[in-house]
Amino acid sequence: MATLSYRGGEMAFRGRVEVICGSMFSGKTDELIRRMKRAQFAHQKVEIFKPAIDTRYSEDDVVTHEGISIPSTPVENSASILLLGSNSDVIGIDEAQFFDDNLPVVCNQLADKGIRVIVAGLDVDYMGKPFGPMPNVCAIADEVQKVHAICVKCGCQAYISHRIVAGDKQVQLGDVNTYEPLCRLCYLKTKR
């Protein structure tokens, strides 16, 4: 059933998909938590999900690199989000790049039910290639906000999460000891 709210003399449909994307250290999770806490303050029923493989800072909570956290439910796949979140007003999804390719379908189904879905994740991997389901989630989103870290080499806006340790697998969990934000030019210099 669609969720409607009264706004400015007319009924407004609340279902939508919002995306927060960018490189690591750009504040994606900070922004997700900020939006979720605002919804909680407004007495909306919220549920936050993260991929079960992301245990860097906590088994259960979504945690920023600075240690700010919010309770979440770790799940193995996007279908679980549909099952567990269908009675929510607002659903947050962190580290969305680690979910399966069905995530855009799940986000659309939730939004079509009148649920506000807020998705945060990396849009490109450490090689600058589209990452997981994020490009397709961006394509179906009502709103996309690209946030930027600061390049650690020159101070410009970062473009990519450059991997500074060995490894060629696309998914390698890490933090400041594994990745650094770089602008496009500084990233290209590492490839020479």
Instruction: Give tens-digit pLDDT for 5-20.
Output: 555 555 567 899 999 9
* Long-range Cβ contact pairs of 75-84 (< 8 A, separation 24 or more): 75/49, 75/50, 75/51, 76/51, 76/52, 77/102, 78/102, 78/103, 78/105, 78/106, 78/133, 79/106, 80/49, 81/49, 81/106, 81/110, 82/106, 82/109, 82/110, 84/47, 84/49
| Residue 50: band (very low, low, confident or very high) from pLDDT cuts 50, 70, 90 | very high
pTM of the model: 0.87
pLDDT of amino acid 142: 98
**Residue 37 pLDDT exceeds 90:** yes
d(CA 89, CA 101): 24
Domains of the chain plus CATH, in order, are 4-148 (3.40.50.300)
| Residue 145: band (very low, low, confident or very high) from pLDDT cuts 50, 70, 90 | very high
| Helices 103-112 + 78-85 axis angle, to 10 | 20
Percent of the chain with pLDDT over 90: 70
**Residues known to be catalytic:** 95
In three-state secondary structure terms, 81 is helix
- Per-residue tokens: 63: 């945690």
Residue-wise pLDDT tens digits, 83-132: 999 899 999 999 999 999 999 999 999 999 999 999 999 999 988 999 99
pLDDT of amino acid 1: 46
* C-beta of residue 28 within 8 angstroms of C-beta of residue 54: no
d(CA 130, CA 127): 9
* C-beta of residue 32 within 8 angstroms of C-beta of residue 120: yes
